[in-house]
Structure 1
Amino acid sequence: MIRKFISAIGLFGVLFISQAAKAADSADQWLQRFSEAMHNYEYSGVLVYSREGQLDAVELSHDVNDQGEQARLSYLDGLPREFLQEGDRITRKISGEVVTSDLIQGRNPSGRLSGGLEKIKQFYQLQLKGQGRVVGRPAVIVEIVPRDNQRLGYRLWLDKESALLLKSVTLDPLARALETFQFTSFSFTAKNEQAGVSSDEAPLSVAQNILPWLPEGFELFMQKQAVMVSEDHLANMYSWSDGVSTFSVFVEPLRADSLKEGHHQYGATVVVIRSIHEQNQGRVITVVGEIPLHTAQKIAAAF
């Protein structure tokens, strides 16, 4: 996730940043600091999010306490949209009205590296790519490179002082940029104590093998029955994560007005729709997530 800082120039600041850089001199160490930073700082700011020529401005605030993650994300352009996270519940609002309120069951993958660094290294290579500067702050560039073609890659700019995320670029299997987000204003505050967040995982009532085919390393982290996917349609939703990338599968009855088969891509997010015609009741399978198009197609085709 992301943090902010108010710059200060002086000998003390230079020495402080120098010591922080020495404390982490490998990609593994920087990503470990990044994972821990979310619990050690409160942060907020405005970021820009771009994909396929579209640019959105978003205001974000984030904290972690004894109740879990507390976050607020508000779009500053167009229709007023807001996402609130309070522990295991994520609420979506449009024009101030609650549209959905979902309970996350099991491990919450909303932060990167949620599966643990060692597990992630089974499926991604971690590489240092030099240094940079974002929102006026020195940063270290780390790449998360997939070991197979079933997931996307990421290039991260981590704040040298705090290891908070200042900028992220999502990369396709050919290392081309799909989407970018970057803070344009950023501030953070160190917490007096590291928040104690429970690591207990609520059991899921649906087995991990709900999918006929699942990319290696992905685990089910959320399920919800009867999700409203349109004004007249309800679907069952299941979501998986490998600790870095996530995708969801929606399963609903086939109707005359169901969405047509096909696929779409919006920046790093792909959507694949497949209709299954069965004797009694057909089904529509929709796969949505930050995974390569061919991976989403293979998941849908396995049903």
Structure 2
Amino acid sequence: MRALLRSLAGLAVLSLSALAAAEPDPSSLLREMAWALDRTNYEGVFIHTHLGRSETMKVVHRVDSEGRITERLVSIDGSGREIIRNDDEVRCILPDRRSVFVEKRNNQNPLFANLPQYSEKLGLYYDFVSLGAEKLLHLDTRVLVIEPRDEYRYGYKLWLEQSTSLPLKTQLLGEDGGVIEQILFHSITLSDEIPVSAVEPGVDASDFTWYYERDEAPAGTETRPDVWQAADLPPGFRLEATNSEYLPDSDSPTQHIVYTDGLASVSVFVEPGSRGDGGLAPGTSHRGAAFAHTARADEHMVTAVGEVPAVTVKMIADSMRKTTRDARR
């Protein structure tokens, strides 16, 4: 009898070990998700819920035979807004305003810009918890929760389709665990190939007003703008990018600096006081998941904004200082 019990116990241990081995670790899931978002051809319709409002959008994500990516997002709720991203630029077409805004492309996917790219350092600031399998859109998904370890960042909950790791549902979670923002696919189709016509604009914008991002100083103006950096950053945040942007109605540059911990990100805009005075007043404000904090520094207006708690943007904005170019890290 004892021999039989020992055998059954051994089988139970083996079964548990097999189940553990079959369940992928969170880091693998995030790596697979990042690959799927860029390298998979898919079309779908999703509902974006934010600020208590919902917007239904269509997405077409195309990867050609050479790995070049083109993506088209279309609002199908009435405005007809389109965002088209390719290797070189991002276009935002606003039919209701008869306007097109063109910016240089960054490395972010406009639909899933805030989803994590896994790195070992993230484990210092977040806990990753796998909640097992769940059905969504009649598909099998793996549910992953990303919990912040401090008050400087928000959490996430992801439903990843099992065979591809595409995120079928994502939630941004506030400090109380409540849902601040959500993207939920209503339908999604994977394809071996998507025609070029599917990612072309659906609106003839040839007679619209076009606005182009300007990163060069107008002739006869200062070409070496001041360098700004944060003297005090929340744990884990680091400088991600910085550049100067010239608004159409100004010869003075706006500094745009981005800090990130690998998941959460904060954009900082530094404007000369004469122009910034017409914008946000000093202090903290919020719109949905995003908090903004504006402060005055050395005759400039500094605004930090991001989908992070208020304490994060306040710490960064209040510590921004103008430095010499040699002091920049």
TM-score interval (norm. to shorter): 0.7 to 0.9
Q: Distance in 2 between matches of 1:68 and 1:149?
A: 39
Which of 271, 275, 278 is the matching residue for 1:252? 271
Q: Distance in 1 between matches of 2:305 and 2:83?
A: 18
Gaps of 5+ in 2: 1-19, 194-223, 321-329
Q: 1:285 to 1:209 in 2, by over 3 A?
A: closer
Indicate the residue corresponding to 2:101 in structure 1. 99
Secondary structure in 1 matching 2:316 = helix
What does 1:59-74 align with in structure 2 at a 5 Å threshold?
A: 59-64=58-63, 66=66, 68-74=68-74
Structure of higher CA gyration radius:
2
Secondary structure in 1 matching 2:30 = helix
Which of 292, 296, 320 is the matching residue for 1:275? 296
Contact 1:227–1:237 (8 Å) recurs in 2: no
Q: 1:185 to 1:108 in 2, by over 3 A?
A: closer
Indicate the residue corresponding to 2:257 in structure 1. 238
What does 1:277-296 align with in structure 2 at a 5 Å threshold?
A: 278=298, 282-296=299-313
Q: 1:227 to 1:139 in 2, by over 3 A?
A: farther
Alignment partner of 1:137 is 2:139: yes
Alignment partner of 1:261 is 2:260: no
Q: Which letter does structure 2 place at the counterpart of 1:89?
A: E
Contact 1:224–1:236 (8 Å) recurs in 2: yes
Q: Which letter does structure 2 place at the counterpart of 1:269?
A: A
TM-superposed CA distance for 1:141, in Å, is 0.7
Contact 2:225–2:253 (8 Å) recurs in 1: no
Contact 2:85–2:105 (8 Å) recurs in 1: no
Indicate the residue corresponding to 1:113 in structure 2. 116
Indicate the residue corresponding to 2:240 in structure 1. 221
Alignment partner of 1:124 is 2:141: no
TM-superposed CA distance for 1:25, in Å, is 3.0
What does 1:150-161 align with in structure 2 at a 5 Å threshold?
A: 150-161=152-163
TM-superposed CA distance for 1:154, in Å, is 0.3
- What number of residue pairs does the alignment pair up? 263
TM-superposed CA distance for 1:285, in Å, is 1.1
Q: Distance in 2 between matches of 1:111 and 1:291?
A: 11
Indicate the residue corresponding to 1:177 in structure 2. 179
Secondary structure in 2 matching 1:210 = strand
TM-score by length of 2: 0.69
TM-score by length of 1: 0.74
Q: 1:97 to 1:52 in 2, by over 3 A?
A: closer
TM-superposed CA distance for 1:169, in Å, is 0.6
Aligned-pair Cα RMSD in Å: 3.2
Q: Distance in 2 between matches of 1:122 and 1:63?
A: 35
Structure with the larger RCO, 1 or 2 (CA within 8 Å, 6+ apart)? 1
Q: 1:210 to 1:60 in 2, by over 3 A?
A: same
Contact 1:67–1:87 (8 Å) recurs in 2: no
Alignment partner of 1:25 is 2:24: yes
Indicate the residue corresponding to 1:52 in structure 2. 51
Q: Which letter does structure 2 place at the counterpart of 1:292?
A: P
CA deviation map 1:87-118 (0-9, x unaligned): 353332222632231343xx65747333x432
TM-superposed CA distance for 1:166, in Å, is 0.2
Secondary structure in 1 matching 2:41 = strand
CA deviation map 1:57-111 (0-9, x unaligned): 121122455465432222223433222222353332222632231343xx65747
Q: Distance in 2 between matches of 1:296 and 1:229?
A: 27
Q: Which letter does structure 2 place at the counterpart of 1:297?
A: K
Contact 2:230–2:317 (8 Å) recurs in 1: no
Indicate the residue corresponding to 1:41 in structure 2. 40
TM-superposed CA distance for 1:268, in Å, is 1.9
Alignment partner of 1:302 is 2:316: no
- Whichever structure has more helix as a proportion of its residues is 2
TM-superposed CA distance for 1:178, in Å, is 0.8
TM-superposed CA distance for 1:236, in Å, is 1.9
